Amino acid sequence: MRSNQLKQKLKQGQVVFGPFINCAYPAFMEICGHAGFDFAIIDMEHGALHTLAAEDLCRAADCVGLAPIIRVRKNDAPQIQRALDIGSAGVQVPQIETKADAEAVVRGAKYSPLGERGLSFATRAGCYTAAGTQITDKMNSESLVVVHVEGRCAVENLAEIVSVPHIDVIFLGPYDLSQSLGIPGQVRDRRVIDLMNTAVQIIRNGGKTAGTFADNPEIAKQWIDAGVQYIGLGVDVAIFLRACQELVKAMRT
C-alpha cells in the first residue's frame, strides 16, 4: 500500500489545499491533480454521489498523485468503513459536537487495537487480498481522520475533542458555524471569524491540524495566516460556474 503523502505534508507543517467534489466524472479528479491540488474531498454528505462513483473517483485521484478524501453523510461506523475500504486516503466526518462523537469516529476508522473497524482484505484498500493480512497497522498509520466542528456547542467542547488520539485534522465549517450563531451564510461576519480564530488556537495548542473551507484564495490566505493548514478550496460545481460566468461576461461586454 502507498504511503499517504498528504498526511506526511501535514506532519511537516505544510499547507495543503483541495476542492470539494460533487461531480461523478473521474476526469474532474484527474484535472484537479494536473492542476496541482494536494487533495480533493469527495462529498457524499451534500452531493449526490454513490459508493461506486466515489470508488472510481479514488482511482482517478491515485492516477495523478492526488489524495482522495471522502466526506461521509454522518458519524456512522459502516459509512466510515466503506469510505476507507474503497481506497480513499482518509475520511471526513461531519457534525462532531462532543468528545464521545470524536471517539466514535476513531473507533469506526481504525482497526484493532486502535478502533473497531470491520476487517476485510478483499477490498480496494486491501488490494483485493494481494496486500496480505499483515497490513492493519500500516492502514491505521496511513489513514487520515478529519472531524468537522460546525456549531457553537462543538466549539465549547473543542478542548475535549482535540484531546482524542488518532484524529489528524479538526475542520471548522464556517457556514454551519454561522447558522449556529443565528446568521446563516454570513461567514465573513465578525462573530463567525472571532469564533473560528478562537477555535484555531485551541486546535493548534492541542497539537492538531486546523482545517476550514474557503470560497476563494483571498479568504484561504487569511486563514492560512491565522494558522490553518488544511484548506477546502471551493467546490467543483461552483468553480465551473464562475469560469462559465466569466466567459459569458467577456463575450457580452
In a domain, 158, yes or no: yes
What pLDDT tens digit does each residue of the chain (253 aa) get?
678 999 999 999 999 999 999 999 999 999 999 999 999 999 999 989 999 999 999 999 999 999 999 999 999 999 999 999 999 999 999 999 999 999 999 999 999 999 999 999 999 999 899 888 889 999 999 999 999 999 999 999 999 999 999 999 999 999 999 999 999 999 999 999 999 999 999 999 999 999 999 999 999 999 999 999 999 999 999 999 999 999 999 999 8
Residue 144, H or E segment: strand 144-149
What angle do helix axes 26-35 and 51-63 make, rounded to 10 degrees?
A: 30
In a domain, 1, yes or no: no
Three-state secondary structure call for residue 100: helix
Give the number of domains in the chain: 1
Q: Domain containing 100 — which CATH number? A: 3.20.20.60
Q: In the prediction, which pLDDT does 134 show?
A: 86
In a domain, 2, yes or no: no
Contact 54, 61 (CB under 8 A): no
Domain interval for residue 72: 7-252
Task: Please state, in angstroms and rounded to a whole number, the distance separating the CA atoms of residues 146 and 229.
Answer: 13
Cell of 246: 466569466
Angle at Cα 119 formed by Cα 115 and Cα 121, nearest 5°? 135
- pTM across the whole model: 0.95
In a domain, 172, yes or no: yes
